[in-house]
Each structure stands twice: as C-alpha cells, then as structure tokens.
C-alpha cells in the first residue's frame, strides 16, 4: 500500500505535532465525524474495514468490530487536547486505532484530517492527503 507507507513515513517526519491554533481547548464544537457519504452523531463512531476497497458505516460506539474512528480532525478532539491521531502499524500497513490525543508524538502516530477542510486541520507546512484505507473524505497530514 503506497498510501500506508506514505502515512507511516510522514509520521516519522512530524515529530511532536501540536494542534493548529484555534482548535484546542473547551468542548468540541459541532462534533460530527464524516463516514463515507454519511455523518456520525455524538453516540456513534465511523466503523471502517480497511483495505483496497474500504467500507465505512456509522455504528453505535460499542458495536464496531473493525476499526472505530471517533474523530476526523482536531475540532472533534478539543476536549482531549485537540489532535486526532491514527496509530499506524508498520508490519500490517494498517491503522490499529484512531483516537483523540494531546499530540501525535511518535513515528507510529499520524494526524488525521478532513479533505474538505483543505489543510486547516494540519500543522503549518503539511498538507491533508487522501487516506484511501479509510474511504472518502478522510485524510492524513504529510509534507
């Protein structure tokens, strides 16, 4: 997977990523995670089956049996530090988790962004690139 390798490589370059100005602090504003052609509500997560043709569907939080994606950008994570990080597994070339964090501070943690926001979810100098393992609308921050 070229995209996965790019994701992992870009994570190494990121170092201690901090959220863009204006996204951290206070409760999440308009918490809504895009999930394919749908938008998940506050009691749901986007449940993704990663692969060449990923599937994504909004499910209740405890009902996802594949990869739950509770955030798709820093505004969903304001209550927990302001960063949505994907945990990348270099061996399987897949994400093992997506979670809110204070920083994506290791080589296996990749900032997740929304393609529709252009580069606003990414730190200065990085672009929001399409993350094909999650399906339409999802991205990751990379040079």
What is the value of pTM for the model shown? 0.74
27-31, 75-79, 125-129: segment of lowest average pLDDT: 27-31
Which position has the token pair 């049996």? 65
For 12-71, write each residue's pLDDT tens digit.
Answer: 333 333 333 333 332 334 468 889 888 998 888 999 999 888 999 999 989 999 999 999
**Hey, which of 24-33, 63-72, 79-88, 106-115 has the most confident mean pLDDT?**
63-72
Tokens of 4: 């996965």
CA 95/CA 90 separation, integer angstroms: 9
Give the pLDDT mean for 91-110. Answer: 89
């Amino acid at each position: 997977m070229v995209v996965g390798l790019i994701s992992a490589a870009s994570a190494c370059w990121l170092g201690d990523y901090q959220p863009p100005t204006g996204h951290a602090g206070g409760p999440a504003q308009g918490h809504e995670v895009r999930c394919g052609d749908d938008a998940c509500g506050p009691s749901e997560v986007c449940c993704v089956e990663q692969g060449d043709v990923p599937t994504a569907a909004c499910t209740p939080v405890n009902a996802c049996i594949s990869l739950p994606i509770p955030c798709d950008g820093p505004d969903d994570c304001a209550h927990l530090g302001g960063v949505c990080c994907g945990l990348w597994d270099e061996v399987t070339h897949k994400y093992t988790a997506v979670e809110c964090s204070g920083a994506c501070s290791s080589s296996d943690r990749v900032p997740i962004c929304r393609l529709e926001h252009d580069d606003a979810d990414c730190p200065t100098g990085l672009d929001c690139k399409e993350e094909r393992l999650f399906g339409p609308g999802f991205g990751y921050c990379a040079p």
